[in-house]
Amino acid sequence: MDIGVLRFDEPKRDTTRKIIHIDMDAFFASVEERENPDLKGKPVIIARHPKETGGKGVVATANYEARKYGVHSAMSAQKAYELCPHGNFISGHYDLYREISAEVRSIFERYTDTIEPLSLDEAYLDVTVNKQNLTSATYIAKLIQRDIWQEVQLTSSAGVSYNKFIAKLASDYHKPAGITVIPPDEALDFLRKLPIEKFYGVGKKTVEKMHDLSIYTGEDLFQKNEMELIQRFGRMGYSLYRKVRGIDNSPVRVSRERKSVGRELTYGKNLTTEQEVLSELRFIANKVQISLQKNQKHGKTVVLKVRYSNFETATKRLTLPNYVKNGEEIFFHAQNLWDEIGVLDRGIRLLGITVTNLDPLAYENIVLPLWDKETDY
């Protein structure tokens, strides 16, 4: 690539690694089916029934039977009920999900210690060098799928390739219980044929901007030059220029430090009064406090997210000099942020509070005495 009189070499692909992405199939819902076989073949939706919550709540996941009706994760429970009124709504047994996730993790550890969990139900594994001294990543992925099924009675899907980005795309290709292998010599063809909305990390708004530039597939993206993509999409443009060329050299990170703790609630009936909003903010702040306690964290930045009935979203953040962890403190700052960005007459569909800039609780605010109070200085 030439910029003025300077010439930059094209980025190079590292095809020496063997990466597996394992994704448990409809994990929470599948656990519920395992625990209650009567649910098999019926739509299962992990969310409290909207009749119990006044239309509040969000779908955590849904099994494949429910997905046939258009139900999906992050959808409001009320919408899910409208699409699938005969669905089995289950509020979720998260302690059980964590327990089973740990069992699955122990299976991974038979093959490698280089594991990067993304959530309870998915993880990257680097098996370039592995405990079984096996040369085939595909064979290892099949063994892991077999072990999970035999020991946990749940299915999983696997993607196998030479980097994380392609492995994750591949795991979503043949679900459920599928395995997709993308070797280096097939990767570029695979990526060029892919619809742009299938590129991991490209959201709805970015897809619209891509379409405005006549980018509908990986091939269209490949034809764009790097500087144009950077100018249009910033860091994402820089990243996508490389990823469509099969380049993602990010390592499988054994320890993923949590960067934020937050909670969001979606409302079937829009909030329209100050009292409703403040009541919900206090409730969410207390939930964030519980999550911070579980993770033994506190943070210095409070973020408020507001989504209106027309789906427009506003966010505002406040970085503080001292750490916060208490629900009332978090609520106090969220209330101040609400005063700055909140508009009641548009109807509130979603509220969320996140605490970022986290540190372990062992890190405390320390005020250093610059001089003794008793001196005259």
> Which ranges constitute the DSSP H helices of the chain?
27-35, 50-53, 64-67, 77-83, 94-108, 137-152, 164-171, 184-193, 204-212, 218-222, 226-233, 235-243, 274-295, 327-341
Closest CA to 168 of 51, 37, 20: 20
Long-range contacts of 258-261 (CB under 8 A, 24+ apart): 258/295, 258/297, 258/358, 259/356, 259/358, 260/299, 260/303, 260/354, 260/355, 260/356, 260/358, 261/288, 261/291, 261/292, 261/295, 261/297, 261/299, 261/354, 261/355, 261/358
Of 295, 294, 298, give the one whose Cα is nearest residue 365. Answer: 298
Sign of CA pseudo-dihedral 242, 244, 247, 253? positive
Residue 321: is the preceding peptide bond cis (ω within 30°)? no
Q: What are phi and psi for residue 56, nearest 5 degrees?
A: -85, 170
| Tokens at 328, concatenated | 């009332």
Displacement of CA 102 from its chain's centroid (Å): 19
Cβ atoms of 196 and 210 within 8 Å: the answer is yes
Task: Take residue 180 and report the two structure tokens written for it.
Answer: 């997709």
| Three-class DSSP category at 290 | helix
Instruction: Assess contact for 162 and 187: CB atoms under 8 A.
Output: yes
Q: How far is CA 368 from CA 317, 325, 357, 363, in A?
A: 27, 22, 22, 15
3-state secondary structure of 300: strand
Residues tagged active-site: 122
Please answer whether residues 336 and 320 qualify as being in contact, where contact means their C-beta atoms are separated by less than 8 angstroms: no
Q: Residue 40's beta-bridge partner residues?
A: none
